[in-house]
Structure 1
Amino acid sequence: MKKAVFLDRDGVINEVLTDRVKFVNKPQDLYFLPGVPEAIKKLNAVFEFIFVVTNQGGVGLGFMKESQLKKIHDYMIAELKKQGATIHDVAYCPHKPKAGCECRKPKSKLIVDLSEKSDVDLSQSYMVGDTDTDIIAGKRAGTKGVFLGKSDPLADAVFPDLISAVDWIIEDSKA
């Protein structure tokens, strides 16, 4: 079985709620956080898959169409590829935040579905996120949790940003 790193999108890969952008509703709103392409490239060297799993309630709330979201993800993947970093697949929940669906994190369906599709061993994989819902979703699926921010009691490790977390993830995956 293969190993994977599951990355949340907003706040892990790209800016959100910053001076430059509030929400990413079109490709030109997507700005990578510092070190993200380099971090993903380093993870690509060790893990078979790098996936993005993201709640995108803006679709359900009518702020953008699903076709616009797909354009944002296509743009993100293409821009990362230009820098030598590969995202293998993106799974998202388009439903309203309180819709009660099975795919919205903190539920684990997005992670489990990707793992089944790609024969991933979740116990050897990692969920990286910037909210407790990301960490909870990863734990429910059976991954280790890496929190980006100040602290999260459920996380296996806490770092300020993705580039800071990468070396720990790689070392821990060898244990």
Structure 2
Amino acid sequence: MAGAGKGMDKLIILDRDGVINEDSDAYVKSLDEWIPIPGSIEAIARLSKAGWLVAVATNQSGLARGFFDHDDLQLMHDALQQRVAGQGGRVDLIRFCPHGPDDLCDCRKPRSGLFRQIAEHFCLPLEGVPVVGDSLRDLEAGVAVGCEPFLVRTGKGSQTELKALPDGTRIFDNLAAVADHLLDN
């Protein structure tokens, strides 16, 4: 953890499917199906190199549904981290919910358990932390703990844009555009 003052790290929380990689209604079940959205890997690396802590918070109910196992998920997350590292950046933390929609867990978005885990890990408050998602539940989970909502039009984002969004939601074409905005301001 960086110290106080000028080198203070900023935190950003990203959804995975539809923000970093292509989404699928049939679930992203294997490394072969995990396809980065153009510009997303570079965007994460640019944020990381500029001093941002990058965390991923992702619902992965395909685990509970038996569509893939923890090893498959780990291969996808390893690939994400390797690709970002190949661009000179890093993903600092990945937290996922392995439960199905009926499991009544605290971690499945729109609940905020994953966000609290991330805050605890970094010992950082979440007030004003950008949360980037393509679905309403991503934004709702972040807003519930004080995050600033950023919607991307990739994944399910174009459909989500038509819904009633949390107050103050900023809308961008993709993660690269979010990174441009954050790095310019």
- Equivalent-residue separation in structure 2 for 1:71 and 1:121 (angstroms): 30
Q: Are residues 1:14 and 2:21 paired?
A: yes
- More helix per residue: 1
Q: Which of 87, 90, 99 is the matching residue for 1:86? A: 90
* Structure 2 unaligned residues grouped into runs of 5+: none
Q: Deviations over 1:55-94 (max 9, x none)?
A: 0000000111122212211121112211223111100000
Q: CA deviation at 1:171?
A: 4.4
Corresponding residue of 1:143:
147
| 1:1-175 equivalence runs, <5 A | 2-17=9-24, 22-149=26-153, 150=158, 151=161, 153-154=165-166, 155-172=168-185
Distance in 1 of aligned mates of 2:17 and 2:75:
15
What percent identity do the matched residue pairs reach? 31
Q: Give the whole-Å Cα distance in 1 for the aligned partners of 2:182 and 2:175.
A: 10
Distance 1:47 1:53 in 2: 19
Q: Which residues of structure 1 form unaligned runs of 5+?
A: none
TM-score normalised per structure 1: 0.88
Q: Alignment RMSD, CA only?
A: 1.8
SS in 2 for 1:141: coil
User: Separation in 2 of the partners of 1:75 and 1:13?
Assistant: 12
CA contact (8 A) 1:103 1:109 kept: yes
Further displaced range: 22-31 or 56-65: 22-31
| Contact in 1 for aligned 2:14/2:57 (Cα 8 Å) | yes
| 1:168 partner SS | helix
- How many angstroms apart in 2 are the aligned matches of 1:126 and 1:142? 9
